Structure 1
């Protein structure tokens, strides 16, 4: 055993890294399998803890090695954007083995679990939330009650596809003509519908009321709402939701745990302090709240 440990230490010095440092994927999977809790909300905090500090990179996931337009991996644990972070942690909280994790992640990321660029839940308000009501419940009205506001917009998917450029095609081999493949992708987008969405949200003006914060469950998904946000000059469509995170309670205090574009990594931020940076002139007006459904846990467990 001593000889084995000495060899491992030598290898770690030669490679410039410690073999004893757990990798994010290993730590995540070990926690997922070993967690004694069968309550989804209680699994989210320890599962997401090892991912703190990992880098923010937009669009790091795709449809895997057989993808037609995006061959980035189906899952990874070394970097995240806001949505892939939420999806990864939520899928882990719903699972007790790597096989279950992969199945749940695919079901969260793709409509009906059909792995394809055109069926990926690209838009939070038009795809991700409505397609995942098997796993989530919108509790925004429970929190804001009669002060609930609504964001309305039209998600123009065909225009979004037409605005895409070659850099949207990821991981394709040089043998594939990207210009021709982009034309194919844009043609596929023309067949998709424009979707009218109406998103309930908690106005930021309510955050000075402690009772409102007290009604936000730990482990819930927080969606940042910018009503009818006009980004057509960049991506061809308006949006209602521009960011996703988890609400986390630690020692009685509420935090946002998320892959942050601002900090370029996964961080915890004080819930109130995060939203205090947005005044009444900001396009960010509030947040939508989705609570994971406990019965979404795999039946045999």
Structure 2
């Protein structure tokens, strides 16, 4: 009994220390010298995370809750956190509490946490929710063409998702979410057309790489960084196992990965 109590105490202490660390880190970043625009701030904040490790599955757990983890990222959580900190920094309330509110707005449908199905899992769904909340503008319908494919990867591969591999109720929620997403038009710049529209992309734009995989909308995401007239990608790289600004250009990366069909371009506002 004493051993169990000690174990629970250590877990609670660890959780509290992690929460304090994350809050302090966000508050320090919110106090960095103010940039003139959100896109400049995205680059500023993103660069502070360079070199931190890539880690997948950080949002998964026994219960669905808002997770703030800033010592390791996957591509999704890197974009979300950099964006949330940057938006909070340019808001009337540059506070940790406002950062957490924005993070919840971005991550959960209607900003309500109600089980695994309430979290936004597909990038295209995430993008449309963020645009509805006036956090960004999807430029893909202006620059690109409509994607004509069903988005149902999760329901078709439930074995890959422990949260509903054997839970039919959650599966029903996922299927319903996919049906709603199917009613929304999704656009991208096709890989072969990328060079034509590259000049329209600027530093701080979110770049999402659309997928050739059946049922999947997006493979990867990051931020565009323009240097010496060329575009590069700032992202949590699964290849390099850390947050980087790519050495290869964004176009070289797009062309090298065969499962990338094209890109979506979204501008944080």
TM-score by length of 2: 0.76
Contact kept, 8 Å, 2:23 with 2:96, in 1: the verdict is no
Kindly state the Cα deviation for residue 74 of structure 1 after the two structures are TM-superposed.
1.0
Q: Decide which of 248, 273, 277 is 2:225's aligned counterpart.
A: 248
Kindly state the Cα deviation for residue 149 of structure 1 after the two structures are TM-superposed.
2.7
**In 1: Cα distance, 2:47 partner to 2:102 partner:** 20
**In 2: Cα distance, 1:224 partner to 1:128 partner:** 14
Q: Give the aligned partner of residue 122 of structure 1.
A: 121
Contact kept, 8 Å, 2:146 with 2:187, in 1: the verdict is yes
Q: Give the aligned partner of residue 204 of structure 1.
A: 191
Q: Give the aligned partner of residue 13 of structure 1.
A: none
Q: Give the aligned partner of residue 274 of structure 1.
A: 253
Q: Give the aligned partner of residue 11 of structure 1.
A: none
Greater shift, 187-196 or 83-92, is seen at 187-196
Q: Give the aligned partner of residue 146 of structure 2.
A: 150
More strand per residue:
1
Aligned length: 237
Per-residue CA distance 1:5-33 (angstroms, 9 max, x = gap): xxxxxxxxxxxxxxxxxx88755531223
What SS is found at the alignment partner of 2:99?
A: helix
Per-residue CA distance 1:223-279 (angstroms, 9 max, x = gap): 11125x32xxxxxxx11212111111234432111111222211111212212314x
**In 1: Cα distance, 2:111 partner to 2:208 partner:** 22
Contact kept, 8 Å, 2:209 with 2:254, in 1: the verdict is no
Cα 1:26–1:248 change in 2 (3 A) is: farther
Contact kept, 8 Å, 2:146 with 2:188, in 1: the verdict is yes
Runs of 5+ consecutive residues of structure 1 not aligned to the other structure: 1-22, 170-177, 231-237, 294-301
What SS is found at the alignment partner of 1:202?
A: strand
Q: Give the aligned partner of residue 135 of structure 2.
A: 135
Q: Give the aligned partner of residue 79 of structure 1.
A: 72
Per-residue CA distance 1:57-91 (angstroms, 9 max, x = gap): 1120257xxx63x46x6111011111111000000
Q: Give the aligned partner of residue 260 of structure 1.
A: 237
Contact kept, 8 Å, 2:79 with 2:221, in 1: the verdict is yes
What SS is found at the alignment partner of 2:219?
A: strand
Q: Give the aligned partner of residue 223 of structure 1.
A: 208
Q: Give the aligned partner of residue 299 of structure 1.
A: none
CA RMSD of aligned residues (A): 2.8
TM-score by length of 1: 0.69
Greater shift, 269-278 or 98-107, is seen at 269-278
Runs of 5+ consecutive residues of structure 2 not aligned to the other structure: 1-20, 89-93
Greater radius of gyration (CA):
1
Kindly state the Cα deviation for residue 132 of structure 1 after the two structures are TM-superposed.
1.0
Aligned pair 1:284/2:269, yes or no? Answer: no
Contact kept, 8 Å, 1:157 with 1:189, in 2: the verdict is no
Cα 1:285–1:256 change in 2 (3 A) is: same
Cα 1:156–1:222 change in 2 (3 A) is: same
Contact kept, 8 Å, 1:108 with 1:132, in 2: the verdict is yes
